[in-house]
Amino acid sequence: MRRILAVLAFLPFLFSIAAHAGDEVAAQATIDAQLKAFLAGDNAGAYSYAAPNVKQIFPTVDTFMSMVANGYRPVQKPQSYSFGKFEWTGDGKIAQQVLLVGPDGKDYEALYTLELQPDGVWRITGVSLRAANTLST
């Protein structure tokens, strides 16, 4: 009986881990779709992955793309990218590290923040970009 109670007490923890794993996959899918839209020149598609807070600041596709082109070129035109660390930061909020090789051939680190929307979809609330601290050999 004790073993059954111990297993039952542990189940919520296991379900929590599974839920977070699903969030990680969904968040990465959102980021991946936006990066692919940028690479395809689908500006409206890329804009569609932005959260309402971003769309309030950049209310049109053109203003959004101007911001991206002027400050986030490695995100707009990566030669390659891969996902790094994932972190659950709070209720319905996550952070996802993306490692990029920019159009200039240099390494960058982008830290994406995403928020779960009322419709159950993850949208990008912000991106912090910096040159990566990597050593070339």
Burial tier of 33 (Cβ tally within 10 Å: 0-12, 13-18, 19+):
middle
How do strand 80-90 and strand 122-131 relate by DSSP bridges? unpaired
What is the reported pLDDT for 76? Answer: 97
- Region 22-42: what's the mean pLDDT? 96
pLDDT 10s digits, 76-110:
999 999 999 999 988 889 999 999 999 999 999 99
Q: Model confidence at 132, in pLDDT bands (50, 70, 90)?
A: confident
Q: Model confidence at 2, in pLDDT bands (50, 70, 90)?
A: low
Q: Contact at 8 Å (CB) between 75 and 126?
A: no
What is the reported pLDDT for 133? Answer: 78
Evaluate if residue 23 carries a pLDDT over 80: yes
Q: Give the strands of the sheet with 93-101, arranged side by side.
A: 80-90, 93-101, 107-116, 122-131
Evaluate if residue 7 carries a pLDDT over 60: no
3-class SS of residue 83: strand
What is the reported pLDDT for 14? Answer: 39
Type and span of the H or E element at 129:
strand 122-131
Average pLDDT, the chain: 88
